[in-house]
Amino acid sequence: MPPRPHRPAALTWQVFRGSDAVRDGLLTEHQLRNSAWVRLRHDIYADSRLERDHALACRAALLRLPPGVVVGGPSAAYLHGVEHAASFTDEVHVLVPRSLRVGSQRGLSVHVNAITPLTSSETPDPAAPSTRRPAGTRRPSGRPPDTSRPPTSGHHSAAIRPLDAGRTPGAERMPDAERPSSAGRPRDAARPVEVGHPPAGGMPPRPVRRLSRPAAMPVGAGGLVMTGRGDGWAAARPHGSRERDLPIPRSDPGRAAWETAVWLDPVRAVAIVDSLLGQGLTDRDTLAAMAARNADRPGGRRARWVFDLADGGAESPPESHLRVRLVLGGLPRPVVQHPIRLPSGIVLHPDLAWPHYRVAVEYDGKWHSDVEQLHRDRRRLNHLVAAGWLVLHVTSRRLHGEFPAVLREVRDALVSRGWRQGSSR
């Protein structure tokens, strides 16, 4: 049986600077290269038992940045619980104050913190009626307003990207997520698989020195989730500690939605804002206030377009991607989860629908290969066809590999039911 790798208690479940650990006598340079640790960035190491997720990538990035830098955009959305917003290998998006100059780093997307936060009078009153959709409820019926193509954004430098500078549509790789994200679960901390124990007897090892990081706390909409910071020593992660005990400074959900809308391509951005709305992390009142407050900033029109198209009723990221790509392809905006009441009293909710033309599109994800699910889907299809609906099915393979053909088929279906290009419906 191979010997267990040496892990000082002060470094158990931690992300740390290798040079600090060596300087403080916790590890040697040779020990840093053993299987107990994984190198995340230059001079940044972590306990190899930590889950390789985007939260771990965020922690590693912040350790190489000065105090005052916070996580924003899709990275912040991930930390708030939108799991498809970013992966371990995706860039970490950070906001830096204007007074700081942060150079280009691999795996880091740097933006100047220039957004105008909401004032207390603009923040929606929690006691007032809200447009937030409770988790698990369907979107009310009714046709949303039409949307046009997203406005283009300005250019930006390679080292420092202004907060409101958008990316060229399509520049971001579309995430390969097939199921809805888990609802509202923060992703602040990486998850341990086992627990290390401090050495028995003797003097405890000196804790490793870390850059100070702000603690997190709830704040008003449109701000940063952070409080005052304090320098000190990092203790070992205790057994059973909860994710909120190790917070990462980040934009709150409303601000993260704005940043995501401005920075990412529209297909990916709408899917993330859909999830922020669907999980109840933000609401349309907050998004409207953010859009109005920053309407004159670069990227303001683009953010409004994304917010208008976003819909918390979407049940998975691929459904959101399909909806946005159909709209960008020149088709009228479909209704998400439109309720269709059958004569038998059954109410069906197709993924996308054009009620005026009685055309619906169902997205078949990977889990639709299940025999029972396939049986239920085909029964739904028969019910919809019997009620006079024209139903098209789109698979994951066709969405990602044959979209021009999908767009043509949906357009032909709408035309066969009376739609004409340029129609307001």
DSSP state of 419: -
- Highest mean pLDDT among 112-126, 128-142, 184-198 belongs to 112-126
The model's confidence at residue 134, banded by pLDDT at 50, 70 and 90, is very low
- Highest mean pLDDT among 220-234, 269-283, 358-372, 410-424 belongs to 269-283
pLDDT of residue 406: 97
pLDDT of residue 296: 87
- Contacts of residue 169, defined as CB under 8 A and 6 or more positions apart, other chains included, come to 150, 265, 266, 267
Altogether, the residues listed in the chain come to a count of 425
pLDDT of residue 254: 95
pLDDT (tens digit per residue) in 251-271 = 999 999 999 999 999 999 999
Structure tokens at 352: 């996308």
The model's confidence at residue 394, banded by pLDDT at 50, 70 and 90, is very high
Q: How many CB atoms lie within 10 A of CB 277?
A: 26
- Contacts of residue 354, defined as CB under 8 A and 6 or more positions apart, other chains included, come to 332, 334, 335, 360, 414, 417, 419, 425
The model's confidence at residue 47, banded by pLDDT at 50, 70 and 90, is very high
Handedness of CA 154, 303, 351, 413 (dihedral sign): negative
- Numbered ranges of CATH 3.40.960 in the chain: 338-425
Q: How many CB atoms lie within 10 A of CB 347?
A: 10
Which H helix or E strand runs over 374? helix 371-386
Structure tokens at 258: 């704005």
CA-based angle 355:356:362, to the nearest 5? 35
Q: What's the whole-number average pLDDT of the chain?
A: 76
Written in H, E and C, the secondary structure of 109-143 is EEEECCCCCCCCCCCCCCCCCCCCCCCCCCCCCCC
pLDDT score of 201 more than 80 = no
Return the percentage of the chain with pLDDT > 90, whole number. 52
Higher pLDDT, 179 or 285: 285
For every residue of 196-213, DSSP letters joined together read --PPSSSPPPPPPB----
Mean pLDDT of 339-348: 86
Of 270, 282, 13, nearest to 126 by C-alpha is 282
Q: Which neighbouring-strand residues pair with 46?
A: 15, 38
pLDDT (tens digit per residue) in 79-133 = 999 999 999 999 999 999 888 888 888 999 999 876 655 555 555 554 444 444 4
DSSP state of 384: H
Of 316-320, 332-336, 362-366, the range with the lowest mean pLDDT is 362-366
The model's confidence at residue 179, banded by pLDDT at 50, 70 and 90, is very low
Of 45, 60, 95, 59, nearest to 74 by C-alpha is 95
pLDDT (tens digit per residue) in 148-167 = 456 654 433 333 333 333 33
pLDDT score of 217 more than 50 = no
pLDDT of residue 148: 46
Structure tokens at 395: 């698979």
pLDDT of residue 24: 94
Mean pLDDT of 271-294: 95
Q: With respect to CATH, is domain 338-425 assigned 3.30.460?
A: no
pLDDT (tens digit per residue) in 17-36 = 999 999 999 999 999 999 99
pLDDT of residue 308: 95
Q: Helix 403-416 to helix 317-328 angle, to the nearest 10 degrees?
A: 70
In one letter, which amino acid is 328? L
Mean pLDDT of 390-416: 95
Question: Do the Cβ atoms of 94 and 75 come closer than 8 Å?
Answer: yes
CA–CA distance, 222 with 229 (Å, rounded to integer):
20
For every residue of 333-367, DSSP letters joined together read PPEET--EE-TTS-EE--SEEETTTTEEEEEE-GG
Q: Helix 300-309 to helix 266-278 angle, to the nearest 10 degrees?
A: 60
pLDDT score of 140 more than 60 = no
- Contacts of residue 348, defined as CB under 8 A and 6 or more positions apart, other chains included, come to 339, 340, 342, 380, 383, 384
Structure tokens at 12: 């158990």
